[in-house]
Amino acid sequence: MKKVLVVEDSQSERELITLYLEQNNYQVIAANNAEDGMELAAKQQPDVIITDITMEGINGFEFCRLLKVYPDTEKIPVIACTARDRELDRMWGQKQGIDLYITKPYSQEELIQAIESVISKPQ
């Protein structure tokens, strides 16, 4: 069973993503902010991380940049699920180490396909 860390400050979004993933046989761990996400990523070593970009405190871009700095988390693929759909945001996200960027609203199928895409990608 693949393990997914969901970092999302909106409880309803976090619950929806968790539901999608559990229905598709993923083990889900969740955090409501980047600080907790960093700790869980290091301890739990998920197969993939899904994060929002717009969060209070450390935003998703900075969260990803921090993940890529530490040896324990640098190779974990990151998917950004966000309403921010400007090309500039996508480009900045890539520079911070985001592996895949999907915009809200997205379907359950699109999310699952994104996860499988980054998990199966050679490191």
Q: Which helix (H) or strand (E) holds 30?
A: strand 27-31
Per-residue pLDDT, 36: 97
Percent of the chain scoring above 90 in pLDDT:
68
Q: What is the CA radius of gyration of the chain?
A: 13
Spatial distance between the Cα atoms of 40 and 91, rounded to a whole number of angstroms: 26
C-alpha dist (Å) from residue 28 to 8, 31, 88, 94, 120? 13, 10, 30, 24, 18
Give the pTM: 0.91
The CATH code belonging to domain 3-117 is 3.40.50.2300
Domain boundaries, the chain: 3-117
10-residue mean pLDDT series, the chain (123 residues):
96 94 96 97 97 91 93 95 74 80 88 93 68
